[in-house]
Amino acid sequence: MDNLLEKSNLTDQQRIVVSTELQAKKKSKLVVFILWWFLGAIAVHRFYLDEKKGYAVTMLLLGWLTLFIWPFIDGIICLVKTVDEVNENIERKIIASVKSA
């Protein structure tokens, strides 16, 4: 919701720039799903999201201790919540850069 308020303060040209950059940079739920399905045991889906590298490394190193249950559950959480949060953060950064330009 914060992004809606921030976008309402932009000009039409700035909104177009934000929209274009967001389309180029946003993360796809389909790609996250495919990465999780085939390479989730080694946390590739988390590395793709590029948000919390420490979390991805920890999952990579310790996921086997939980018999890969942790990466399985994490994939479901990623698909439901994390991708949207990452995309909102990307949009927020783009809006801030457009405002400062």
Is the pLDDT at 1 greater than 70? The verdict is: no
pLDDT of residue 21: 94
Q: Are 98 and 10 in contact (CB under 8 A)?
A: yes
* Helical H segments across 1-101, by residue range: 2-8, 12-25, 29-39, 44-49, 53-62, 69-77, 83-100
pLDDT of residue 86: 92
- CA torsion 13-16-21-23 (nearest 10°) is 180
Domain positions in the chain are: 27-100
Q: What average pLDDT does the structure give for the chain? A: 88
